[in-house]
Structure 1
């Protein structure tokens, strides 16, 4: 399918320029970097930074705003930013209260963000981090959980962003973030591979009318591929596997996020949402917060993911409902 682009090598930079232009009332791009930052940085609260490879739009720049991230850092397609660039982002928003890095659990992301943290700390900047590992799929042919950082990362941005705005300290935010991550699980399913910018070659292969459960946001293979039956069947598989991650799924209420992976229409997302609601009603699951949309994509992959977050503290729900001007929330 033809894409509305110019030269593929310029795509990431032009995306960032477009974001800064459309949202110039509240965001700016640091020239010649992958950094999008809030224009009016709050100096009386902890600054939050997240990021990773491009190709997951609107993640992560869509969550920069009052009550969410202070800055995001975008690397090339599916490649995390380098430590030097992350350090620039830290410099651009650091406050006396400190900086918290929210990192998705991929090896290169973790390596580069932690290197930037060490450099910043050596300069005397207070920096902490949390690692989001909400993916609960298993490796193909084994029972080893992968625990990648995927769409649930956005819920972490929202909860910690609201808590930071409230005045929580760096240490308090780190503890809160780790508690939220431990209470969250995500599973995804792909119906067709996405393609990288300017390429006609799919990232991975699926037969016609075939789906893959547990697919990754960079095209990593799933734990099972089989013919597609229905939206309801997909919802049933994902719900059942997610609920097994909780020892007592009636103990606490849940927040859920339905996330389109880039090539899934709004109509499909809401049909899936209807199936999720009916099945959760049958299970007697108490849902107190719900969102559907494209929050963390994989270029133009056709597919969907479902995130469950056990609301162990009422204040978590309050944080999810707090107002933010981050444009993708």
Structure 2
């Protein structure tokens, strides 16, 4: 195992200290509580947005804390859910009097712990609503979930919903938009290599030199199948068609397209995948009107990619385009 770390047990702590030093103008980082909060939180009369999950998926979620996205993030240990105390501390920190929305990826530990935190917050008089993302079309159930996994749509949802929350919209309206984004987005990913959790010191799984895993999860969970390595055009077809079919996209639809790297794939290869994606969608008369290409929800150093499509309408496009200022996403401000 070769990694730029000190001790495996200090990885999250050292990362938080690094983020605090790198973005003092954007973030307040509480290393003891293990939460990341936007600098101006709580914002009076604004719905607070809180998300979180295991570390190892950077820049998600801490990289999306700031104006126009999340108000706070709770990083757990690598690939391990944060605990309810963290989530409650984050909920308190962003409560500006308009309530708090918890954005939860559909992993059993995350869902259970956020539910406990919401109950504790309600006991303190904080109105909390939860939205669970479940956009992965690869498998119905996995090692970590009951139902579909929450993956790439989570990032896009945080941006779109964050744009609405900045307008002072009420909690009910913010939650309704979150549900809408989740319902209009789907994802599928693949892996060329495994990742290595520092505490384990060895790869999570083994792939042969001529193999790839289709439908992989962001924690190294198995996917739909393992098969022989293919070229970028074939891989993009394998990932795109189930997403298009599951979402029911048709000629004339416009989408927000995310080609996401899993941590170990260079940008030059991700642009090749995006080129293939736009070719495929053009052939179906589906337009990509907004896009992101890069590492946005990773799995440590795993090589591979995922594709996420969200069906756009005027409302979703408006709040996607709204200003944002976070460590990982910045435009319009």
TM-score (norm 1): 0.96
Task: Please name the residue that 1:328 is paired with.
Answer: 328
Q: Deviations 1:66-96 (Å, cap 9, x if unpaired)?
A: 0100000001011111111110111111111
Q: CA deviation at 1:277?
A: 1.3
Structure 1 residue ranges (4+ consecutive) displaced by more than 3 angstroms after TM superposition: none
Q: CA deviation at 1:246?
A: 2.8
* Counterpart-to-counterpart distance in 1, 2:248 and 2:49: 32
Q: CA deviation at 1:121?
A: 0.4
Q: Deviations 1:245-303 (Å, cap 9, x if unpaired)?
A: 13342253111111100111111111111111112112211111111111110111111
* Counterpart-to-counterpart distance in 2, 1:63 and 1:123: 27
Q: How does 1:300-319 map to 2 (within 5 A)?
A: 300-311=301-312, 313-319=313-319
Q: CA deviation at 1:204?
A: 1.4
Contact persistence 1:140–1:222 (CA under 8 A):
no
Contact persistence 1:140–1:223 (CA under 8 A):
no
Check 1:254–1:191 CA distance in 2 against 1; reply closer, same or farther (3 A cut). Answer: same
Matched, 1:10 2:16: no
Task: Please name the residue that 1:102 is paired with.
Answer: 103
Q: CA deviation at 1:43?
A: 1.4
SS in 1 for 2:247: coil
* Counterpart-to-counterpart distance in 1, 2:302 and 2:105: 19
Q: Which runs of 5+ in 2 are unaligned?
A: none
* Counterpart-to-counterpart distance in 2, 1:76 and 1:251: 43
* Counterpart-to-counterpart distance in 2, 1:34 and 1:145: 27
Q: Which runs of 5+ in 1 are unaligned?
A: none
SS in 2 for 1:308: strand
Q: CA deviation at 1:241?
A: 1.0
Matched, 1:117 2:118: yes
* Counterpart-to-counterpart distance in 1, 2:280 and 2:135: 22
* Counterpart-to-counterpart distance in 1, 2:210 and 2:201: 19
Q: Deviations 1:202-257 (Å, cap 9, x if unpaired)?
A: 11121112111100001110111111120111111111111111334225311111
* Counterpart-to-counterpart distance in 1, 2:272 and 2:147: 28
SS in 2 for 1:90: helix
Task: Please name the residue that 1:26 is paired with.
Answer: 26
Q: CA deviation at 1:176?
A: 1.0
SS in 2 for 1:192: coil
SS in 2 for 1:292: strand
Query: What count of residue pairs does the alignment treat as equivalent?
Result: 326
* Counterpart-to-counterpart distance in 2, 1:182 and 1:48: 19
* Counterpart-to-counterpart distance in 2, 1:15 and 1:100: 25
Task: Please name the residue that 2:151 is paired with.
Answer: 150
Q: Deviations 1:297-319 (Å, cap 9, x if unpaired)?
A: 011111100001011x3021111
Larger displacement relative to structure 2 (272-281 or 164-173): 272-281
Task: Please name the residue that 1:253 is paired with.
Answer: 254
* Counterpart-to-counterpart distance in 2, 1:256 and 1:226: 25
Q: CA deviation at 1:139?
A: 5.3
Check 1:145–1:128 CA distance in 2 against 1; reply closer, same or farther (3 A cut). Answer: closer
Check 1:151–1:247 CA distance in 2 against 1; reply closer, same or farther (3 A cut). Answer: closer
* Counterpart-to-counterpart distance in 1, 2:8 and 2:230: 36
Q: Deviations 1:14-38 (Å, cap 9, x if unpaired)?
A: 0011011100111011141220101
Q: Deviations 1:159-208 (Å, cap 9, x if unpaired)?
A: 11000001211011111111110111000000000111254411112111
Task: Please name the residue that 1:70 is paired with.
Answer: 71
Matched, 1:128 2:160: no
Task: Please name the residue that 2:44 is paired with.
Answer: 43
* Counterpart-to-counterpart distance in 1, 2:223 and 2:24: 39
Contact persistence 2:249–2:311 (CA under 8 A):
no
